Amino acid sequence: MKLKIAKLPGDGIGPEVVEQAVKAVDAVCRRFGHEATYSFGYVGAVAIDHCGDPYPDETHAICMDSDAVLFGAVGDPRFDNDPTAKVRPEQGLLAIRKKLGLFANLRPVETFKSLVGKSPLKTELVDGADFLCVRELTGGMYFGDRGRKDGGDTAFDTCIYSRFEIERILSLAFDYAMRRRRHLTVVDKANILETSRLWRQIAREMAPKYPEVEVDYMYVDNAAMQLIRCPKAFDVIVTENTFGDILTDEASCISGSMGLLASASVGAHTSLFEPIHGSYPQAAGKNIANPVAAILSAAMMFEYSFGLMEEGAAIRKAVSASIDKGIVTEDLAAGGKAYSTSEVGDWIAAAIES
């Protein structure tokens, strides 16, 4: 198969980890007889430096013309503490989500047997945890009206959702629940927020269409607690944009390192695959960042965008082997030998081919 891939490494450690994902993709292609071609696009702070726009039109054209997007990270400390900055790297990510219509963000949380001890949670709580967060990605406060008034001393952000937006994300979440253990948890704040009440109302309307799916409704504050109290109780979680942003960072610590979790953003146009960690500027250029999340994002790309399940499984198997054998970066080394980003990438690529 010919795979046309847009490569958007972005900022910070993005380029280093995406390079390792590319090695894994190329190894899969050699082993299974596919042909991958890559088109590079600027995004984030590097795109602002390049042309003043965090998601330039030329990058959008490349994404629209590709079968999948491999994304690194965006963010740069130069912008973080400057409330007057007119453009920010993060706007590039919001723009790509909106323009590609990526309304769903799928963040699977899995544990690796040999790493359960790395989790800040007790081993017996996390061992075997396996759930999928489905985060709505193009609505809510991220995209609602915002601004200042009273001469700048009052600020507002609006959380807004339409029936259409809620139905499409819920139906995707119900579908995933059907393919998994048939348990869906709808997370909201329906005791306070009107948008949450609409989510709950629509979920209740839709539930009879999926009689095999057991549906729970949980307030987000409680969900934040249950996630670390009893992560194994979850199968599929669906929630709005902001809640999903927060809960998925929290969930990432279950598996032991943020550097392990991959994600797929899917919707109307080309799907995008990205590690859930950020640009980690302190580590940029040091060849120490964990490339596993980016490499597992490439596995999700094979499975989701190309329907190549065996290829995705080959990547997952190589990643598990690297972790079991201790071929890991410093975040997971715990006193043992820490390998560099590129060494881990090379090892995994070789394992895919062998």
The dihedral over CA atoms of 295, 115, 222, 273, expressed in degrees to the nearest 10, equals 0
- 93 contact, one of Mg ion, ligand IPM, none, CB 5-8 Å limit per kind: ligand IPM
Name the E strands within the chain.
2-10, 35-40, 68-73, 104-110, 130-136, 146-149, 154-157, 183-188, 214-219, 236-239, 262-266, 271-275
Instruction: Return all residues near 258 (Cβ < 8 A) that are at least 6 apart.
Output: 249, 252, 276, 277, 293
CB of 317 to ligand IPM, least distance (A): 27
Residue with Cβ nearer ligand IPM (273 or 347): 273
Active site residue 157: no
Instruction: Return all residues near 341 (Cβ < 8 A) that are at least 6 apart.
Output: 13, 16, 17, 20, 287, 288, 289, 290, 291, 329
Active site residue 217: no
- 218 contact, one of ligand IPM, Mg ion, none, CB 5-8 Å limit per kind: none
Residue with Cβ nearer ligand IPM (75 or 259): 75
Residue with Cβ nearer Mg ion (125 or 228): 228
CB of 335 to ligand IPM, least distance (A): 30
Instruction: Return all residues near 327 (Cβ < 8 A) that are at least 6 apart.
Output: 339, 343, 344, 347, 348
The alpha carbon dihedral of 335, 229, 130, 203 has a sign of negative
Residue 216 is a binding residue for Mg ion (CB under 5 A): no
Q: Which helix (H) or strand (E) holds 306?
A: helix 292-306
CB of 278 to Mg ion, least distance (A): 7
Residue with Cβ nearer ligand IPM (102 or 206): 102
Q: Which stretch binds Mg ion (CB under 5 A): 79-87, 141-149, 242-250, 340-348?
A: 242-250
Residue selected from 110, 127, 216, 245 as contacting Mg ion according to rule CB under 5 A? 245
Q: Among residues 11, 189, 280, 331, which one is catalytic?
A: 189
Please report, as ranges, the residues that interact with ligand IPM according to CB under 6 A.
Answer: 75, 90, 93, 245, 278
- 170 contact, one of Mg ion, ligand IPM, none, CB 5-8 Å limit per kind: none
CB of 246 to ligand IPM, least distance (A): 9
Q: Among residues 127, 130, 216, 245, which one is catalytic?
A: 245
CB of 273 to ligand IPM, least distance (A): 12
Q: Among residues 57, 65, 80, 221, which one is catalytic?
A: 221
Task: Dig out the tokens for 45 from the structure.
Answer: 């702070």
- In angstroms, the Cα distances linking 73 to 10, 46, 275, 346 are 5, 11, 8, 21
Active site residue 245: yes
CA dist., res. 172 & res. 168, Å (int)? 6
CA dist., res. 226 & res. 29, Å (int)? 41
Active site residue 189: yes
Positions marked active-site: 142, 189, 221, 245, 249
Binding site for Mg ion (CB under 5 A): 245
